[in-house]
Chain A
């Protein structure tokens, strides 16, 4: 089997980060659990946001986890893909809005 930096089985071991720093690990997981509870936003809405962000931060573990989570919540593939596009639009927008900086600099340096 070829070795890669990412192994799907490692997602199952996520909780093990607590082994080397119990206090911080437990605080993180408690916080994480609270964030995803039903609140002003539904758990369903939070799952779609998490899926979009997973793509933007390009985390394969997160993509696996929130695709599965979406399926469990009955979220359709059309809804999932739209969420990914929302993430992609913001990410490409973030690149393109820097074009204004480029334009400003260009104008400043040009006679």
Chain B
């Protein structure tokens, strides 16, 4: 298992420019596979344009207590990029000014941001319909100061979304690190105890499934049935929905694809599975992703590739919903990850 981020190892793939070069050269340059732009160029969805802003996703920082093999953020304990309170205040202003119905906090481990609780308290006063925190579960068990997080989430009616690559220990620990499975199980049981994820409960607990390897997620509904059956039987754990998310070929997952000699096959798989119905529902058309330092992106993946929004304003300092509306979405070959099969978004399948 990888113990260090690409950033800490000073690996060439820690540079977004290098990743974009790989995604544009080779099989895409020699014409073996069409570029994403070419693939969608004769469709009515081209160019992809931003519609009304509905989901605001804030990356509170790249620091994380885990170093998962597939992480597209290249997060880890060594990452020091953390959103400041000033930027958080600007985000609160944006929430007030816009009609976003979903606020989605991610990271890294967003809970490791020192102003996380203050921000949640302030944001929860604004009456957002769906307030998501992407919690990796183990953070709850990582340190005494995080042990009361489940109650804090409950107090603010937070919708908890957590990663769980499999219902077995072996696959989970391989992807996310030794001991992660056991801690995740304990955290899920604690969340269940206070009502999260229980049938009929308004305290929403959803799980995210990322394939642990160079293959696409299977049918989301079928996987959800398997997860539920196994987690109930083995651990008496309940949850609401499973979001099946495709791994996009960037950062540490791209590194894995290249090192394991799976890159070309994986890209063929993504391109062969291109689904126009998924293209019509990609998340970037109603989402805005804000980085720890306030830059604006069409999605969290573009953030990691440093592909800022295609607009004359690119920073939260200058936020203006009207100017950002109808902007062209910035695309590259990684976008095939969101249009393969049943599609993929931070909320799982899109069709």
Which residues of A pack against B, CB within 8 Å? 8, 12, 42-44, 68-69, 71-74, 76
Report yes or no: A44 in contact with B215, Cβ–Cβ below 8 A: no
Report yes or no: A71 in contact with B213, Cβ–Cβ below 8 A: yes
Report yes or no: A43 in contact with B213, Cβ–Cβ below 8 A: no
Chain B residues positioned under 8 Å from A8 (CB to CB):
265
B107 within 8 A of A: no
Report yes or no: B272 in contact with A12, Cβ–Cβ below 8 A: yes
B219 within 8 A of A: yes
B168 within 8 A of A: yes
Report yes or no: B218 in contact with A72, Cβ–Cβ below 8 A: yes
Measured CB to CB, the closest approach of chain B to A80, in angstroms, equals 13
**Given A43-B222, A44-B222, is A72 in contact with B272 using a C-beta cutoff of 8 Å?**
no
- In the complex, residue of chain B having the shortest beta-carbon distance to the beta carbon of A47: B218
Chain A residues positioned under 8 Å from B226 (CB to CB):
44, 73-74
Measured CB to CB, the closest approach of chain B to A107, in angstroms, equals 52
A44–B219 Cα gap in the complex (Å)?
10
Report yes or no: A76 in contact with B217, Cβ–Cβ below 8 A: no
Q: Which 7 A-B pairs have the closest CB atoms?
A: A72-B218, A73-B218, A71-B215, A74-B226, A68-B215, A72-B215, A74-B223
- In the complex, residue of chain A having the shortest beta-carbon distance to the beta carbon of B171: A76
B211 within 8 A of A: yes
Measured CB to CB, the closest approach of chain A to B217, in angstroms, equals 7
A74–B213 Cα gap in the complex (Å)?
11
Measured CB to CB, the closest approach of chain B to A74, in angstroms, equals 5
Report yes or no: B211 in contact with A71, Cβ–Cβ below 8 A: yes
B268 within 8 A of A: yes
A100–B268 Cα gap in the complex (Å)?
50
Number of B residues, CB within 8 Å of A: 18
A69–B171 Cα gap in the complex (Å)?
16
- In the complex, residue of chain B having the shortest beta-carbon distance to the beta carbon of A44: B222
Report yes or no: B166 in contact with A72, Cβ–Cβ below 8 A: no
Measured CB to CB, the closest approach of chain A to B31, in angstroms, equals 16
Chain B residues positioned under 8 Å from A69 (CB to CB):
218
Chain B residues positioned under 8 Å from A42 (CB to CB):
222
Measured CB to CB, the closest approach of chain B to A45, in angstroms, equals 11
Chain B residues positioned under 8 Å from A43 (CB to CB):
219, 222
A8–B269 Cα gap in the complex (Å)?
13
Chain A residues positioned under 8 Å from B167 (CB to CB):
74
Measured CB to CB, the closest approach of chain A to B249, in angstroms, equals 17
A44–B226 Cα gap in the complex (Å)?
10
Report yes or no: B268 in contact with A72, Cβ–Cβ below 8 A: no
Measured CB to CB, the closest approach of chain A to B170, in angstroms, equals 8
Chain B residues positioned under 8 Å from A74 (CB to CB):
166-167, 218, 223, 226-227
Chain B residues positioned under 8 Å from A68 (CB to CB):
215
Chain B residues positioned under 8 Å from A71 (CB to CB):
211, 213, 215
B132 within 8 A of A: no
Measured CB to CB, the closest approach of chain B to A69, in angstroms, equals 8
Measured CB to CB, the closest approach of chain B to A8, in angstroms, equals 8
Measured CB to CB, the closest approach of chain A to B265, in angstroms, equals 8
Report yes or no: A72 in contact with B211, Cβ–Cβ below 8 A: yes
Measured CB to CB, the closest approach of chain A to B85, in angstroms, equals 42
Measured CB to CB, the closest approach of chain B to A54, in angstroms, equals 16
The 8 A CB mask of B255-274 against A (1 = contact, 0 = none) is 00000000001001000100
A42–B226 Cα gap in the complex (Å)?
12
The 8 A CB mask of B192-221 against A (1 = contact, 0 = none) is 000000000000000000010101111100
Could you list 19 A-B pairs, sorted by A, with CB under 8 Å? A12-B268, A12-B272, A42-B222, A44-B222, A68-B215, A69-B218, A71-B211, A71-B215, A72-B215, A72-B216, A72-B218, A73-B218, A73-B226, A74-B166, A74-B167, A74-B223, A74-B226, A74-B227, A76-B168
Chain A residues positioned under 8 Å from B211 (CB to CB):
71-72
